[in-house]
Amino acid sequence: MSTLRVPLRLTIGLAGATVVAIGALATRMALTGTPRYGFLAWNLFLAWLPYLAGVAATLVAGTGRRGVLPLGTLWLLFWPNAPYIVTDVVHLRRPGVTVTWVEVTLIALFAATGLALGLASLVLMQRVVAVRYGSTAGVALVALALPLGAIGIYLGRVHRFNSWDVLADPFALMRTVAFDLSGPFSMPVMAALITAMTCGLAVAYALAWRVGQASDARISSRGPESRSRRRR
């Protein structure tokens, strides 16, 4: 059975990126005296929730205890929030207002951090599911999560739904989806957007998975050497 471990260095790196992004936002708000782009802090907080759920599931699965399923459900509920922050680039389009490099850099910081949190959480959950239920189940999770994430981004950006609306207002959510599916114009647009976002997430995840595998291989190769040095 594969060993499950929380990527401590990655977690520290993501926390550091978050501090830098929040610091940049706070600096801009202090210099301009306006709270514009303050929503980025909230969106980044939501992006941390699936990663924390993935970390918790990793810890629980590593001890063999129960609790992976509810943590996985929580992760899936909030997973679209992480890549969703990439779509905040739409706020750079303001009629009659010139966008500065400061604003572009600010949103890029938040978008990159949010996307990294989401991809890292998916890697963690795939490994948890693979260890608990087999590698095929892990791949199936990714195949399910990518389009669901794209659908969640679509519903959040286009129709302004939140993750908790699945529980708080499920009927409004279903009515909206049904309307888009039945509309002669909305259906093609929805299908095109969701397909494009699914493909984008798939490419990004494939890269994240390769990076994770390379990192694991590097750590494993250094393990025996570092242990022998400590014995000396």
Q: What residues contact 165, with CB distance under 8 A and at least 6 apart?
A: 172, 173
Residue-level pLDDT at 223:
58
Mean pLDDT of 115-124: 96
Mean pLDDT of 24-40: 93
Rounded Cα gap, residues 201 and 192, in angstroms = 14
Report the chain's terminal Cα–Cα distance, integer Å.
Answer: 30
Mean pLDDT of 22-43: 94
Mean pLDDT of 64-88: 93
For 28, the 3-state DSSP assignment is helix
Q: Does position 229 have pLDDT exceeding 60, yes or no?
A: no
Q: Does position 230 have pLDDT exceeding 60, yes or no?
A: no
Which band of pLDDT confidence, cut at 50, 70 and 90, is reported for residue 5? confident
Q: Does position 109 have pLDDT exceeding 70, yes or no?
A: yes
Summary mean pLDDT of the chain? 90
pLDDT one-digit tens code per residue, 168-179: 999 999 999 999
Do 54 and 120 form a contact (C-beta atoms < 8 A)? yes
Do 144 and 198 form a contact (C-beta atoms < 8 A)? no
Rounded Cα gap, residues 179 and 173, in angstroms = 10
Report which of residues 58 and 66 the model is more confident about: 58
Which band of pLDDT confidence, cut at 50, 70 and 90, is reported for residue 228? very low
Q: Give 144-191 as a 3 state SS string.
A: HHHHHHHHHHHHHHHHCCCCCHHHHCHHHHHHHHHHHHHCCCHHHHHH
Report which of residues 222 and 48 the model is more confident about: 48
Residue-level pLDDT at 51:
97
pLDDT one-digit tens code per residue, 136-162: 999 999 999 999 999 999 999 999 999
Nearest alpha carbon to residue 2 among 138, 94, 113, 107: 138
Q: State what percent of residues in the chain have pLDDT above 70.
A: 93
